[in-house]
């Protein structure tokens, strides 16, 4: 079955289910030059009266440059049986190989020419509204135990990107 356009509001419960329990592919760039990586952190909901999606990207990721340079990003939820692709895209860097080709994924484009994958079950096309670096100085007492030991020492703190969901596709 092919992906078809959908109203993001109609996908809300499916999205909460998919993103709550599954990982997704975050993609940015153009059809000609893009990169994708596995993300586990993603929230969908209403902000500033808009349907939005927030993702978090560490500055060390190759994808980070694509997120900075492009106005749009996409979130593609692949079927559960594509663990191979989720694993490769979450452990290898686009600096070293063409992950999209290696996984046999088919690039389609949405609003703003943003690339996403035909093999996905759910896709959100987002236009960046806001970006802010997470800041260890803002961690509150409960987070000192739950957050700092796990995320403090492994590298840069993630940049949060909130985008307006301007298009959605589902199967």
Instruction: Tell me which residues touch ligand FMN (CB under 6 A).
Output: 23, 35, 37-41, 56-58, 61-63, 90-95, 158
Tokens standing for 138? 């803002």
Q: Residue 93 or residue 109: which is nearer to ligand FMN going by CB?
A: 93
Residues 114-141 as b or e (16 or more Cβ within 10 Å = b): bbbbebbbbbbbbbbeeeeeeeeeebee
Q: Residue 26 or residue 168: which is nearer to ligand FMN going by CB?
A: 26
Question: Least distance in Å: CB of 77 to ligand FMN?
Answer: 13
Kindly report the number of other CB atoms within 10 A of residue 153's CB atom. Answer: 7
C-beta separation of 50 from 101 below 8 A: no
Q: Residue 62 or residue 127: which is nearer to ligand FMN going by CB?
A: 62
Tokens standing for 160? 């949060």
Question: Least distance in Å: CB of 92 to ligand FMN?
Answer: 6
Question: Least distance in Å: CB of 99 to ligand FMN?
Answer: 7
Q: Residue 57 or residue 124: which is nearer to ligand FMN going by CB?
A: 57
């Amino acid at each position: 079955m092919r992906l078809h356009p959908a109203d993001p509001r109609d996908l809300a419960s499916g999205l909460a289910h998919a993103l709550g329990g599954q990982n997704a592919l975050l993609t940015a760039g153009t059809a000609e030059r893009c990169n994708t990586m596995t993300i586990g952190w993603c929230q969908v909901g209403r902000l500033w009266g808009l349907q939005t999606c927030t993702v978090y990207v560490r500055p060390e990721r190759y994808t980070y440059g694509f997120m900075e340079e492009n106005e749009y990003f996409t979130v593609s939820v692949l079927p559960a049986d594509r663990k191979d692709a989720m694993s490769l895209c979450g452990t290898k860097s686009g600096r070293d190989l063409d992950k999209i080709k290696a996984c046999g994924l088919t690039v389609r484009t949405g609003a703003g020419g943003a690339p996403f994958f035909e093999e996905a079950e759910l896709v959100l096309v987002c236009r960046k509204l806001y970006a802010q670096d997470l800041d260890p100085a803002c961690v509150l007492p409960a987070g000192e135990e739950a957050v700092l030991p796990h995320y403090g020492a492994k590298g840069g703190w993630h940049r949060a990107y909130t985008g307006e969901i301007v298009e959605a596709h589902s199967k």
